[in-house]
Structure 1
């Protein structure tokens, strides 16, 4: 009888341990799954959409972009290099100033669109390319009586020639030297329909008239 009672007590204790183990393992799995789901949901809901980076500003390009047709610029073509200009970037100035060497006649996206006539003192000034865009300023040389530019030796003996590069330059009238490739310092005396002032040389077909200048 005593043996039967002891066996019954042992069986009851074993059954209790099994029940406790089952109830412990079940809650331990549920929070783990719940935390993973919550973490994934929070990450997805707060993730920002990807955006293309904005291009870095370019001060030189912005200076070109600020120029409009009709503006005047205080720059001229470098007498030593026809691919360069006297200023790093264009700057609009009053057209009445003595250093307003250029007038903007167009703002284009290609040099051919400027349709420049080199021997009329016309050219174009190209901006750096920025974010795939390039600006071409179509410019015309503004001459003022008394200022000087550079001339070359003509193809015929004793003749003085003007050139697209030379017309776009500015040079001190008091200098006694000229850059390589040029021969003469020419002082502008006027632009007329037909006749030039006394002592001036003339170049016909300049802007449908004649360009007048004297050698200094």
Structure 2
């Protein structure tokens, strides 16, 4: 794996990756869920990865036997779903991808939200809201270190 690669793996909602071995895919592919933004062979490199909404890291042994830390950020695509706590202050691990039609969620009290938009963050002080249908409830999260915003509604 190299920086710039996109992978078909994601957090499965139970603090595990969805597959033991990631597969490289095109970054615009429908199964591109994570983007590798840095690779390191240094022990403890996970602590130097970006953190915040949509960021995670994965320590993985390569085919050559070398342990690597993959610093990852979520590839957000309209239509993908994730579980979230939406009563009170909204909270979600945005590295989790969840089946939009699932009848269960990983943790009690969570709902399934569908990404309805991915936008460049508005300039500070700009009055902006997520586009939504009449009467439709939506939630949003700043991602990519505040450079972008995802909007979501109930799946």
Judge conservation of contact 1:189–1:200 (CA < 8 Å) in 2: no
TM-score, with structure 2 as normaliser: 0.78
Judge conservation of contact 1:195–1:210 (CA < 8 Å) in 2: no
Aligned partner of 2:151 in structure 1 is 212
Pick one of 88, 100, 103 that aligns with 1:176: 103
TM-score, with structure 1 as normaliser: 0.58
Judge conservation of contact 1:150–1:184 (CA < 8 Å) in 2: yes
Equivalent-residue separation in structure 2 for 1:72 and 1:85 (angstroms): 14
Structure having greater relative contact order (Cα 8 Å, sep ≥ 6): 2
Q: Identify the structure with the greater strand proportion.
A: 2
Alignment coverage as a number of residue pairs: 140
**Structure 2: tracts of 5 or more residues without a match:** 122-127
Q: Identify the structure with the greater helix proportion.
A: 1
Q: Aligned runs of 1:194-209 on 2, under 5 Å?
A: 194-198=128-132, 199=136, 201-207=138-144, 208=146, 209=148
Instruction: Compare CA radii of gyration and give the structure with the larger one.
Output: 1
SS, match of residue 174 in structure 1: coil
Range with greater deviation from structure 2 (99-108 or 198-207): 198-207
Q: Deviations over 1:147-202 (max 9, x none)?
A: 10110245x3xx4322xxx3111111112211225511010011222431113523
Judge conservation of contact 2:38–2:72 (CA < 8 Å) in 1: yes
Judge conservation of contact 1:104–1:137 (CA < 8 Å) in 2: yes
